[in-house]
Chains A and B, each alone.
Chain A
Amino acid sequence: MTISEVQEQIKASSARAVVEASIAKAKQNAEYNALLSLTEERALERADAVDAGKITGKLAGVPFVVKDNFLAFGAPTTAASKMLAGFDAPLQATAVEKLEAEGAICIGKSNLDAFAHGGSTENSAYGPTKNAYDKTRVSGGSSGGSAVITALDIVPFTLGSDTGGSIRQPASFNGVVGIKPTYGTVSRYGVVAMASSTDTIGSITSNVADAETVMSIMAGRDDRDMTTLPDFFEVPQFVKPGQKIGLIKEFMTDGVDIEVRTKINEYADSLRAKGHTVEEVSLPMLEYSLAIYYIIVPAEISSNLARYDGIHYGYRAEGAKTLAELYGRSRNDGFMTENKRRIMIGSYVLSSGYFDAYYLKAQKARTLLIKQFNDLFAQYDLLIGPVAPTTAFRLGDNTSDPIKMYLEDVMTVPASLAGLPAISVPAGVSQTDMPIGVQLIGPARSDAKLLALARSLETK
């Protein structure tokens, strides 16, 4: 389902009819556990206001769903955690506000790994989300709910956050388009922070044109987020032939499913067919990117999650006798195992005596990784590779082995660490009909160009 199709339906019937249909479809698909809440009342009010001409804009009446780590009106913001169960946001995320200002209608909030920690949405306090193509498989994560909702055609677009692959990987697992923009493209204001230096906000859509539409609206400088960039999101109609494209060698090793590699090579061929050149390139630092990521990101997580302490809001353990017990029990009960694991790792690498050896060294390695990307972009316009080494795995397959789960992120974390734009677009399906995505990575602020190029290769 695309935005323009929905707009046709609104013209033919009404915004209310479209929003009601979306809500009904969401309810019919409850078994996927993709939605944590519906904002039905508010959504219908807004739909009526659109029909009455009181709300207008580029997306007037178009329904969408946000990941439940975005503060939004009409339903609690839980970040899929027990810690924030029932938390009613007093304000909305800038991204949501900007979409609402164009008349879009949020109908609900999607499932995720609690606090966005995970790659399968199995770490949700409210149960895992099931893959849109196979209910025995994971949706990917952490924006698994949003990807499945888009894939199930409940709404034409959903929002997610991507810190190390949380939009791209579930998009790849569910055969939809996901974009992690250049760091700072979309305001993070009002989105529950995970890792401040790599958190980004992006869309999950069923085609590239819709990503262009949604991202153009959300992008731009926000006075409430000092890290936002001035709006650079101007989508070109065409990308000139003759683009120099690097196929990342380290992403095409034997550790990656042969079926995945085959689809990436086919995508490379179709790029060549459009008059571009594709050659193999190497980024030796990629070997360290997962290690860098799992030092820096947990460090930032341990800091950003310190505020959930049971004192001011959110979950508080009953019957604690001392302040230390109140903190300990509230945090022990309110967080999921994976949250606690990352807080522990993060606290460790920031501890006195370990900071230099871990955090600082990881930051230095990160700088080297960025330099290698920059060196490559001096010669190549963009890079391609897989999004994930496999298609969606079975529910429960990786839950007992965190390292195995982290390895799923190996191809998505490099762009996150370097702040680069990266998109995941469908590149076909496996023999078992599971979607496979291709990842396009470009230099900073080349987001629109990546999208335009991907659009030129879209088959449907």
Chain B
Amino acid sequence: MITEEILAKYDMTIGIECHVQLATNTKLFSGADNDARDKAPNSVVSPIDYGLPGMLPVLNRKAVDLAIKAGKALNSQIARVSRFDRKHYFYPDLPKGYQTTQMYQPIIEAGVVHAPLDDGSVVDVRVHHAHLEEDAGKLTHFGDSSLVDLNRAGTPLIEIVSEPDIHSPAAAKAYATELYRLMTYAGVTHGDLYHGNMRFDVNISIAPKGATELGKRAEVKNLNSFKSVERAAEYEFRRQVELIENDGRVVQETRGWDDAKQKTTSQRSKEDAQDYRYMPDADIPPIVLTDEEITRIQADMPRLPGEWRQLLGQLGLDFLQIETLLDAENEYRGRVNILQMIESVIEDPKKAKFVAIWNVNNFVPMLRSDETLAASRIDFLAIELAIYDLIAADKISSTNAKTLFRELITQTSLPDVEQYATDKGYIQMSDASAVVAIVDQVLADPRSAVAIQELKNGNDKVIGYLIGQVMKSSSGQANPALAQKIIRERILN
């Protein structure tokens, strides 16, 4: 039995390799459609992807641009000269007999990812490098035969290789999640996890606490969710501790993740490891980049998660509010531009903060409870700004503001907001004489007598009852703050 005490005697060390599918229109070396989703097998394959005799790769410049953007997101330098190499092995999903990748001179140099954990602390994971490469096709096995689909063959990927800087399943998950955010914010990938747009290989080894040498590592391949990254790390840690505790030893091997059983299973050991016979690819000239090019491409990027955290923090949002916005941005990207709404008014910090908080407290929860909302073409920001003006002018209560927003976002076209609010009776009475009249009327009502007496006796809570009566008499239009002020003046002075 492996107890928590036994587990506590060991440290785990994790390094992660992440494959990111690039959001290009065409493949890395051919003009074939890069979107293989829901396509008939072998329908988006060019003679180049098919590896016909005499075919030559033509590098997709868009993929290079996206790698340059990914480099910025990873806080990496971009190599001024990088090259492609061939990695050889025989498998039916690899029609050329080699994968074109960057072994010796990758385009993205060392970097670092600052990944926030759920408790608000941050783990820094260094990136060793990241390189461009092409994906392979897909095999489907039927009994004793196998079918090859090359739709995905030649799809551009960048592989991000981390240093072994991760020491807990939670940190592994945090790193994977942050990579996802970085790559989606940078526009590098569509981030469709269901279709394998980001895949993680988790290398994990254990060692007794304080040991200087790492144990043999197992690599769990092809994880496609943040949760499975965390679970696989947890499972492997326990499995390896158990092996050691029972006088066994960990063998260097590749393992797979069984999502149904929530466990890893052995796939192949190091003894079967291939010799890939890497060599430079003479068909593709080196990628040579100038400082100006890199600067120009990186200047044309939206804000990255790190910048948003800083900016929203300066506006006064707390960790959870910020993470809510960052997640919502990804959840609704391409439909509702949650952060762009804030960006549009960033010059006015008060407005920006209002929009940010409004999105956290009202808009995002509404989006989540009503799936159809995200498809609306209405100008959400215009509504929020109109409400901002009404609140700033003290013309609407927070309750009414929320109701007004909920109603407006389901409209098909945007009405004059103040007129609409007036017609609906959401505008509050801030004309003192009108409120005075209603207050006097409420105070004169015999049913208020008890409350008035209690208030005079120092039970401040009952003022809520009186304000409620004023709101009721005014059909909710009285400014409650104003009403309270007048009630106090009338009774306590």
Measuring CB to CB, which residues of chain A are less than 8 angstroms from any residue of chain B?
69-71, 77, 79, 84, 87, 89-91, 93, 188-193, 195-197, 223-227, 299-300, 302-303, 305-307, 309, 311-313, 323, 327, 347, 350-352, 355, 359
Contacts and interface: CB of A to CB of B under 8 A. Distances in A.
Interface string B219-247: 00000000000000000000000000000
A226 B54 contact: no
A190 B54 contact: yes
B164 interface: no
Contact of A306 (B97, B275, B282, B285): B97
Interface string B46-65: 01001111111111000000
A303 B53 contact: no
**Interface core residue of B53, B56, B57, B98 (most chain A CB under 10 Å):** B53
Contacts of A307: 51, 53, 95-97
B47 A90 contact: yes
Query: What's the interface size class on B, roughly?
Result: 20 to 34
Interface in B245-296: 275-279, 281-285
A197 B282 contact: yes
Interface stretch (B84-92, B193-201, B446-454): B84-92
Contacts of B52: 89-90, 313
Contacts of A300: 279, 282
B283 A196 contact: yes
A312 B95 contact: yes
B88 to A, nearest CB: 6
A226 B283 contact: yes
**Chain B residues touching A, majority SS:** loop
Nearest to A353: B275
Contact of B56 (A70, A79, A91, A188): A188
Contacts of A193: 53-54, 56, 283
Given A77-B53, A307-B51, A226 B59 contact: yes
Nearest to A90: B47
B117 interface: no
A189 B95 CA distance: 18
Interface string B82-112: 0000101010100111100000000000000
A177 to B, nearest CB: 25
A372 B283 CA distance: 25
A224 B97 CA distance: 21
Contacts of B276: 352
Contacts of A191: 54
Contact of B277 (A188, A226, A323, A351): A351
B47 A306 contact: no
B304 interface: no
Q: Which 9 pairs across A and B sit closest by C-beta, in order of nearness?
A: A306-B97, A197-B282, A196-B282, A350-B277, A307-B51, A190-B54, A192-B53, A311-B92, A307-B96
Interface string B375-405: 0000000000000000000000000000000
B36 interface: no
B278 A350 contact: yes
Given A87-B53, A312-B50, A350-B277, A223 B58 contact: yes
Contact of A299 (B54, B59, B279): B279
Contacts of A188: 54, 56
Contact of B284 (A195, A226, A351): A226
**Interface core residue of B98, B279, B285 (most chain A CB under 10 Å):** B279
A311 B57 CA distance: 21
Contacts of B88: 302-303, 306, 350
B366 interface: no
Given A71-B54, A347-B277, A303 B86 contact: yes
Contact of A189 (B56, B97, B285): B56
A319 B464 CA distance: 90
A327 B282 contact: no
A347 to B, nearest CB: 6
Nearest to A321: B144
A104 B114 CA distance: 63
**Interface core residue of A191, A195, A303, A323 (most chain B CB under 10 Å):** A303
9 contacts: A71-B53, A90-B47, A190-B54, A190-B55, A197-B282, A226-B284, A303-B277, A350-B278, A355-B278
Interface string B20-55: 000000000000000000000000000100111111
A245 to B, nearest CB: 31
Contacts of A350: 88, 277-279
Contacts of A189: 54-56
B374 interface: no
B49 to A, nearest CB: 11
Contacts of B59: 226
Contacts of A226: 56-59, 283-285
Contacts of B47: 90-91
